[in-house]
Amino acid sequence: MRLLTWMLLATVMTDLAGAAQAPTLKADHRPEVETQVLQVEKAWNEAVKLRDRVKLARFCAEDFVTTDEEGSVSTKAQFVDAVMQHFKLNSYALTDMKATVYGDTAIVVGQWKGSYAVDGDEREGVFRFTDTFIKRDGQWWAAASHMSKASP
């Protein structure tokens, strides 16, 4: 019985040692790429402000998806059409932004504060956002975006 207990204990210890050595994922620390992605984020927001359909379409991957603060999910076409037909951005500021790069994938988190109109209804808001970009053929493409109302 003692032998069986020692064998089980040895097996558990071996498993725990193996788990401690499991592979981990850590972001690449590439400041020049992080800066580049943050510039893309800013340019994308400017395209929204200018309601530039061509630039908006160039920033978003074909299968782009966005989730707004109410939980509604939109495709690229729905997003671009909403900006063009229903959304007018008066002013905004991007703060507390950070880009994290994993190879050809980058995640940008930050805070968006601004005044805007939806179908003529003037509003102001502060939101936290998470945008995911993928680099293909030398260009960073927005693949997904999510916004949540910021806590006061």
pLDDT at 140 exceeding the cut of 90: yes
Q: What pLDDT was estimated at residue 26?
A: 87
CATH number for the segment(s) 27-149: 3.10.450.50
| Beta carbons of 40 and 58 less than 8 angstroms apart | no
Helices (H) and strands (E) in the chain, counts: 4, 6
Q: What are phi and psi of 78, to 5 degrees?
A: -65, -40
Q: What pLDDT was estimated at residue 151?
A: 83
Q: What is the pLDDT of residues 75-97, one digit of tens each?
A: 999 999 999 999 999 999 999 99
Q: What pLDDT was estimated at residue 27?
A: 87
pLDDT at 121 exceeding the cut of 70: yes
Q: What is the pLDDT of residues 2-57, one digit of tens each?
A: 655 555 455 555 555 555 567 888 888 899 999 999 999 999 999 999 999 999 99
The residue whose two tokens read 């032998």 is 3
Q: What are phi and psi of 30, to 5 degrees?
A: -130, 85
DSSP E strand boundaries for 19-104: 60-67, 73-75, 87-102
